[in-house]
Structure formats: structure tokens, C-alpha cells
């Protein structure tokens, strides 16, 4: 599946890189041949917001458990990800960043971290402990990321808070993507953040001031500015299908990054789980706190893609961009990931006609296979 078309052909991989894409690519006797006839070979999925899975909360995991959860998401087509931590005490955030750094050395699908807080709004904290939410502070930011400046890739912030704009400027100066989320920002608050460089939203629509015809809020600002990108949780609960279609009617396909916001409930039966120290309850594909507040999801990226196609009517060739090309562009890694092109990392996912994952490959290494023939 090339960026602009689906072709019948072969993919040659050498030393973790896509060497050639063409019809009848020659494979030497020393190479392995994987038979994917009748299936889709797609760019690997990139999840920029994932809290855990298979009974593991990334924010509290040791390295071995952390890597088990990473492998679980690999098996669902995610070949690059930003493990995510909600608002937590500063020392816990530092421990989390340290684990992410080590995990990235063991599994190259771990690109870095997303901190979903702590500089957010207590009014829109959602499934976070309010005592862990901090007022924006450059000093506290320095304490959190000292020694991990290259690990943190995205930080969710509430720009309306005092010193919120200064925090956004500081993040940008360090090459960290500020993302508006868990915020009660007004339209003008969002505009000020935009004017200083913010261009991304954390789980758009959710944990934000609702859209209103007299005060459009950050949602309204995002809808009318087509150079802003949005995370979107498509689990048929977080966002109504009509609001997804509204984004698309406004030319939003290139702006959308599907995310899971998966918790440790992903891949597990219904029951009680944890998210950053808060009990969450998973039931029938929906994850809530005991107070009924949305608490992440049990989603995987392959299911998010299938749900998006079902609810939006977008065909696979275009929909695949929301889980690959768009997040790669946001992270400024399009030179090596995000599309199937010669010279890029061999991050691949093979899907059958029902969009089930048959194979996942990270930098040429097979990290998951489900019954494909290797000749």
C-alpha cells in the first residue's frame, strides 16, 4: 500500500530498511520469503497516546512488564508508539521517563514519551487525581525532564492556566510538542496558544470546554484552523460518529491522528483496573471511573482503524494515513517512518480483508505473526 495507491507487488527488505517495492522483486537464496498474497501490506501504525495494555499500566510498570505491554500493542499493528503517563507526582513522572528511555533501547518501537499532564486544568482533569495536577511552572518542568530532554516528545497542557503560554514556549524551544488537552480554554485562550506555536490537540473533543455558539472554546478554534492536528479516540464511545464526520467535512483527514488512549484494560476481560492511581472499570468496551468519568479505553490501533472506516465511510487507502503518515508528520519522522517508501524503516503491518493483523514488523524484525508462511 503506497502513499497514493494500492498495488500488487513485492517488498524487499534489507538491514531493516525497505530496499525496493515493485512487481516480482528478486530475493536471494539466503533471504526469507513471507507469503502475504491476498493481503494488505501497510505502513506500521504509530500510536502517540497509549497508557498501557494487557494488565500493565505504563505509569507503574517495571521494565519487563512495560515491554510486555509494548509487545501486546506490536501484535495489534503498532510499530511505533509514545507510552503515556497521566498527571502524577514529579518523581513518578521521572521514573516513568526513565523506564521509557530503557524500553526504547530494548524495543525500537518505543520512540519516546507523552506526558498527559501534570500542567492541565483541574476543572477538566477527567480520570486524574486533582492533587497531582500542577500549575504551569518552568522550574517544575525542568525538574521533570532533566536528563530526559530527548525522551519527552509530547506534553499535554492547559494554556489558559497562569504561565501556560510561557510553558508552551519553553516546550517548543526544547523541541517538545505542546498539545492542548484536559483544558477549559476559551476560544481566545486557544488563539493565544496558537499564536505562540501550539498546533496539536490531545484527544480532541474530550476533556475540553464543550462547543458553544457564543463561546466556541478550543474545539471551535481547532475546527476552523486547518494547520492544527488532533488526536481522536474512535472506540464508538468517546466521540459520536457525526462529530468525526464534521471534522472530515472541514477537510480534516490530514489533521487526524487516531490514538488508543489504551489503559491496562486493553486485551483484558471486563473488570477493575488502574490508571495512574485511579480505579477504572472496563465493561463492554467502555472504560469509566466508578464516578462514571471516561478513563481511557480498551482500544487497540487495528480496532481504532476499523472503527474509523466503519463510522466515517473513508476507504482504507486514505484511512491508513490517520494511523501512520499523519502521526509521523507530527513527530517529524517522515524521513524514516509513516509510509511505505524505498529507503524508509521497514515498519510494516499486514492486514487481511477484515483488517485483522497477520504480521507486524519493526525495522525489519518480525515482532508478531499469525499463520503466515515463511519460505
Catalytic residues: 261
Residues 6+ apart with CB under 8 A from 229: 199, 200, 201, 255, 256, 257, 326, 330
Q: Which residues contact 29 (CB under 8 A, 6 or more apart)?
A: none
Residues 289, 294, 299, CA angle at the centre, nearest 5°? 110
Helices (H) and strands (E) in the chain, counts: 10, 21
Q: End-to-end distance of the chain based on CA atoms, in angstroms?
A: 22
C-alpha 351 chain-centroid distance: 19
Taking the C-alpha atoms of residue 355 and residue 310, their distance in angstroms, rounded to an integer, is 11
Beta pairing partners, 280: 273, 289
Residue 327's H or E segment, with its range, is: helix 325-330
Side-chain half-sphere CA neighbours of 6 within 13 A: 11
What's the half-sphere exposure (Cβ side, CA atoms, 13 Å) at 182?
28
Looking at the chain, how many residues does it have? 375
* H or E element in which residue 301 lies: helix 301-312
Distance CA 360, CA 277 (A): 32
Amino acid at each position: 500500500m503506497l502513499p497514493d495507491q494500492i498495488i500488487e507487488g513485492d517488498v524487499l527488505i534489507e538491514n531493516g530498511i525497505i530496499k525496493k517495492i515493485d512487481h516480482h522483486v528478486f530475493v536471494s537464496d539466503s533471504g526469507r520469503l513471507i507469503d502475504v498474497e491476498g493481503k494488505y501490506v501497510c505502513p506500521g501504525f504509530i500510536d502517540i497516546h497509549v497508557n498501557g495494555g494487557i494488565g500493565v499500566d505504563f505509569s507503574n510498570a517495571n521494565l519487563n512488564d512495560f515491554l510486555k505491554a509494548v509487545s501486546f500493542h506490536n501484535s495489534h499493528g503498532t510499530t511505533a508508539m509514545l507510552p503515556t503517563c497521566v498527571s502524577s507526582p514529579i518523581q513518578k513522572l521521572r521514573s516513568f521517563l526513565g523506564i521509557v528511555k530503557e524500553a526504547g533501547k530494548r524495543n525500537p518501537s518505543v520512540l519516546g514519551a507523552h506526558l498527559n499532564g501534570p500542567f492541565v486544568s483541574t476543572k477538566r482533569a477527567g480520570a486524574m487525581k486533582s492533587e497531582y495536577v500542577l500549575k504551569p511552572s518552568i522550574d517544575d518542568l525542568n525538574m521533570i525532564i532533566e536528563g530526559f530532554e530527548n525522551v519527552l516528545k509530547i506534553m499535554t497542557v492547559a494554556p489558559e492556566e497562569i504561565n501556560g503560554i510561557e510553558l508552551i514556549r519553553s516546550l517548543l524551544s526544547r523541541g517538545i510538542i505542546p498539545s492542548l488537552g484536559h483544558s477549559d480554554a476559551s476560544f481566545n485562550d486557544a488563539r493565544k496558544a496558537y499564536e505562540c506555536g501550539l498546533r496539536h490537540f490531545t484527544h480532541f473533543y474530550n476533556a475540553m470546554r464543550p462547543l458553544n455558539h457564543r463561546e466556541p472554546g478550543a474545539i471551535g478554534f481547532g475546527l476552523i484552523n486547518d494547520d492544527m492536528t488532533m488526536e481522536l479516540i474512535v472506540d464508538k464511545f468517546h466521540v459520536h460518529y457525526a462529530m468525526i464526520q464534521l471534522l472530515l467535512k472541514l477537510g480534516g483527514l490530514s489533521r487526524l491522528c487516531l490514538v488508543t488512549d489504551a489503559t491496562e484494560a486493553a486485551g483484558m476481560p471486563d473488570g477493575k483496573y488502574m490508571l495512574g492511581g485511579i480505579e477504572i472499570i472496563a465493561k463492554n468496551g467502555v472504560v469509566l471511573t466508578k464516578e462514571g468519568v471516561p478513563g481511557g479505553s480498551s482500544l487497540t490501533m487495528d480496532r481504532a482503524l476499523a472503527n474509523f472506516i466503519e463510522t466515517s465511510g473513508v476507504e482504507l487507502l486514505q484511512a491508513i494515513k490517520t494511523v501512520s503518515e499523519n502521526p509521523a508528520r507530527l513527530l517529524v519522522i517522515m524521513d524514516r517512518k509513516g509510509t511505505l517508501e524505498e529507503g524508509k524503516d521497514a515498519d510494516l503491518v499486514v492486514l487481511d480483508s477484515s483488517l485483522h493483523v497477520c504480521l507486524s514488523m519493526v525495522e525489519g524484525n518480525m515482532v508478531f505473526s499469525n499463520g503466515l508462511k515463511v519460505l
